[in-house]
Chains A and B, each alone.
Chain A
Amino acid sequence: KAGVTQTPRYLIKTRGQQVTLSCSPISGHRSVSWYQQTPGQGLQFLFEYFSETQRNKGNFPGRFSGRQFSNSRSEMNVSTLELGDSALYLCASSSTSGTARIYGYTFGSGTRLTVV
């Protein structure tokens, strides 16, 4: 069974640009969550999608957005990039979020975004 696939693995962008990150969950998983990991803040929740609907959203500015497609693949977009957006962005999937609380989400390897 293929794991959670995130593309690209590494990305360098200039301040002010926008970026789109992609996540393909494990086949059959309908819940996809996004997290930002930085050295100072640890892992912070961005948003969760289930069956193309955003169910939960973290405390991030509106520059951060996402969507989920009918095949459960998800994308997140960051517009008007700032230096502080440099981080590892992790995608996690589960069959349902109820399952995830017991058996954990399955994380991808992440996309390392560097804003210069």
Chain B
Amino acid sequence: DQQVKQNSPSLSVQEGRISILNCDYTNSMFDYFLWYKKYPAEGPTFLISISSIKDKNEDGRFTVFLNKSAKHLSLHIVPSQPGDSAVYFCAASRTNSGGSNYKLTFGKGTLLTVNP
């Protein structure tokens, strides 16, 4: 049962344009969402997160939008740069009954290629 889905395995955009990476989830108990970027032969690097009480969070060129009713979030990168080419993972977490954090549940990733 895949609770976090990234339905686009790959995305190709032109340098300077906007990249939009999408993620859907099924578990309404998720209350924190994160995006990670991963280069080959390296571990994932944290990019940005958003709490379920918000619908938008910005950090420089990166903005994450959350639509709770649709159980959908997206990561916007503006403007896209060739160095952004990597695999992007969406992840979600929930607070367990003890009040502490739970594991991260990851999507399968989207390979973003930014062409010069």
How many Cβ-Cβ contacts under 8 Å join chain A to chain B?
65
- Chain A's nearest CB lies how many Å from the CB of B29? 13
- Within 8 Å by CB of B103, from A41, A56, A107, lies A56
A87 to chain B, nearest CB (A): 14
B106 adjacent to A107 (CB under 8 Å): no
Cα of A101 to Cα of B89 in the assembled complex, Å: 15
Known interface pairs A42-B89, A42-B106, A44-B106. Does A106 touch B100 (Cβ–Cβ under 8 Å)?
Answer: no
Flag if B42 contacts A109 (CB, 8 Å). yes
Tell whether A43 is near chain B: CB-to-CB under 8 Å.
yes
> 8 Å CB contacts to A: which residues of B49-95?
49, 51, 89, 91, 93
Partner of B102, one of A44, A56, A105, A106: A56
Chain A 8-51: CB-based contact to B (< 8 A → 1; otherwise 0): 00000000000000000000000001010000011111001000
Contact of A107 among B41, B44, B49, B101 (CB under 8 A): B44
Q: Among A42, A56, A97, A110, point to the contact of B43 (Cβ < 8 A).
A: A110
A63 within 8 A of B: no
Nearest CB to that of B36 among chain A residues?
A104
A92 to B101, CA, bound (A): 14
Distance in angstroms from B19 CB to nearest chain A CB is: 20
Asked whether B34 lies within 8 Å of A104 as measured between CB atoms, the reply is: yes
Question: What residue in chain B is nearest A104 (Cβ atoms)?
Answer: B46
Proximity string of chain A (94-116) to chain B, C-beta cutoff 8 Å, 1 when within and 0 when not: 00111011111111111000000
Q: Quick one: closest A residue to B6, CB to CB? A: A42
Question: 9 more A-B contacts (CB under 8 A) besides A33-B104, A104-B49, A107-B36?
Answer: A4-B43, A33-B103, A42-B106, A43-B109, A90-B43, A100-B93, A101-B32, A101-B93, A107-B43
